[in-house]
Every structure is written in C-alpha cells, then in structure tokens.
Amino acid sequence: KAGVTQTPRYLIKTRGQQVTLSCSPISGHRSVSWYQQTPGQGLQFLFEYFSETQRNKGNFPGRFSGRQFSNSRSEMNVSTLELGDSALYLCASTGEAATDTQYFGPGTRLTVL
C-alpha cells in the first residue's frame, strides 16, 4: 500500500504571495491532518479534515486554510505569506477511527523570501 504523498517537496515563495500544498493520504484513509514544523515553535497542529469537512483546528490565523476532496486528497493554502511561514509542512493520514494512528508524509519544505 502506498504511503502518504505530498507535493511539491520544496517550494520557494516571496512575502505577500500565496501557496497551495497538496497531500494524498494512504488508500482507504479518510482523515487528513496538517502540521507545521519550525525550529522555534516545533511541531504544531494546523487542522484536520474528515469526509471533506474540517473536523478540528489548531491555533493559527485565518491565512491558513484547507480543504478536502471527495477522494480524500487534501490541500492546504497559505495566503499573504510572511517570513515566519517558512517551515516544513507535514501531512498525516488516519483511518476512520479517532483511535487510529496518524501516518505522516515526507513533508513540503516552504521557504519564504
């Protein structure tokens, strides 16, 4: 079974631009969660989508948004990029049960100049 895939793997943007990251979960998984990893703040939960609905969200500004499609693929969008948005963005997929383990993708490295 293929693992979680994320595209692109690397991205360079400038301040003020917007960016869209994509995540394809493990086949059969319907839940996708997004995390931001930075050296200063560590790993922080952004939001979770299940069956095309945002089920849960962390403490991030409204510039960070996401969506999920009927095939469970998810996209994350960041508008009006700031230097502090430079980070590794990790996506994790989970089965239907809340008790299922989250399996992570390789991440997208976003650099904002």
Partner 1 sequence: AQTVTQSQPEMSVQEAETVTLSCTYDTSESDYYLFWYKQPPSRQMILVIRQEAYKQQNATENRFSVNFQKAAKSFSLKISDSQLGDAAMYFCAYRILFSGGGADGLTFGKGTHLIIQP
Q: Which residues bind partner 1 (CB under 8 A)?
A: 33, 35, 42-48, 50, 55-56, 58, 88, 90, 92, 98-99, 101-107, 109
Query: What is the CA 110 to chain-centroid distance, rounded?
Result: 12
Q: Where are the beta strands (DSSP E) in the chain?
A: 5-7, 10-13, 19-24, 31-38, 42-50, 53-57, 64-68, 74-78, 87-94, 103-104, 108-112
Specify the residue, 20 or 44, whose C-beta has the smaller distance to partner 1: 44
Specify the residue, 23 or 92, whose C-beta has the smaller distance to partner 1: 92
Specify the residue, 80 or 111, whose C-beta has the smaller distance to partner 1: 111
In angstroms, give the least distance from the CB of 107 to partner 1: 5
